A = this chain, B = another copy of it.
Amino acid sequence: MRVVIPFDATDPKTRLSAVLDASERQAFAVAMLRDVVAAVRETGHEPRVIATGPVAVDAPTTVDDRPLTPLVDAAIDAGTPLAVVMADLAIATPAAIDRLFSADGDVVLAPGRGGGTNAMVVRTPAFRADFHGTSIRDHRANARSVGATATELDSFRLATDVDEPADLVEVLVHGDGAAARWLVEAGFTVALEGGRPRAVRENRG
């Protein structure tokens, strides 16, 4: 099965701007991508990165600056079965990805928090992607509309995409790869704010 990892190499992770500057966001996004590449590889698959621009990752890479939806549709058209795994799943494990790849269904969807879709397996070439808005609902509907069975993979690790400062605590608490190390080296630690754990950045003298 082909596995593709789309990556936004152009000003990635803008919603982390409150805590990371542009070069830090770039470095952190690449660290997450490397973790996802490594996790996919441990399942026995060689992923291809499809990036909007050049990126420093040790994996076959195609540069393609189309938005996510036409990009994934083109990948489906190039051949199924196809797996798509987002590049910001910093706490994805090989076990979780293996569960995704092994699940039955013409289409297997791994929901992301907030109505998103963080990973999928497409075994039917008629299926179309739609990453705008509440994509998990759109993907369910798109599967139905082509008569495909859609199953959903119940994984916290695949549901956790890292977009906002509030997401960083998940990387510190559950991650053990390049992204978690990057955050620790950048001075992030877990602290309680109003009784709730948050990733906070220590003052560096």
A interface residues, Cβ below 8 angstroms from B: 93, 95-96, 99, 111, 113-116, 132-134, 136-137, 154-160, 166, 169-170, 173-174, 190, 192, 195-197
5 sample A-B contacts, Cβ–Cβ < 8 Å, listed by A number: A99-B154, A111-B174, A114-B169, A155-B155, A156-B158
What separation, in Å, do the CA atoms of A169 and B113 have in the docked complex?
A: 9
**Contact between B155 and A115, CB atoms less than 8 A apart:** no
Residue pair A154, B115 in contact (C-beta under 8 Å): no
Contact status A113-B197, CB under 8 Å: no
Q: Can you list the 9 inter-chain pairs with the closest CB atoms, starting with the nearest?
A: A115-B197, A156-B159, A134-B197, A115-B173, A156-B156, A154-B155, A154-B157, A133-B192, A154-B156
Interface centre among A96, A132, A159 (most CB of B within 10 A): A159
When C-beta atoms are compared, the residue in chain B nearest to A132 turns out to be B195
Q: Is the CB of A197 within 8 A of B133?
A: yes
Q: Are A113 and B170 in contact, with the CB atoms below 8 A?
A: yes
Contacts of A170 in B (CB 8 A): 113-115
Q: Given the complex, which residues of B lie within 8 Å of A95, measured CB to CB?
A: 154
A192 to chain B, nearest CB (A): 5
With A133-B192, A134-B190 as contacts: A111 and B169 at CB distance below 8 Å: no
In the complex, the chain B residue whose C-beta lies closest to that of A156 is: B159
A113-B160, A115-B170, A137-B190 given; name 11 further pairs at CB < 8 Å: A95-B154, A99-B154, A113-B156, A114-B166, A115-B169, A116-B197, A136-B174, A154-B155, A154-B156, A155-B155, A155-B156
A111 contacts B197, C-beta separation under 8 Å: no
Report the minimal beta-carbon distance from A137 to chain B, rounded to whole angstroms: 6
A173 / chain B contacts, CB cutoff of 8 Å: 111, 115, 134, 136-137
Complex: how many Å from CA A197 to CA B134?
6
Give CA–CA (A154, B155) in the complex, Å.
5
A159 to B174, CA, bound (A): 13
Least distance between A173 CB and chain B CB atoms (Å): 5
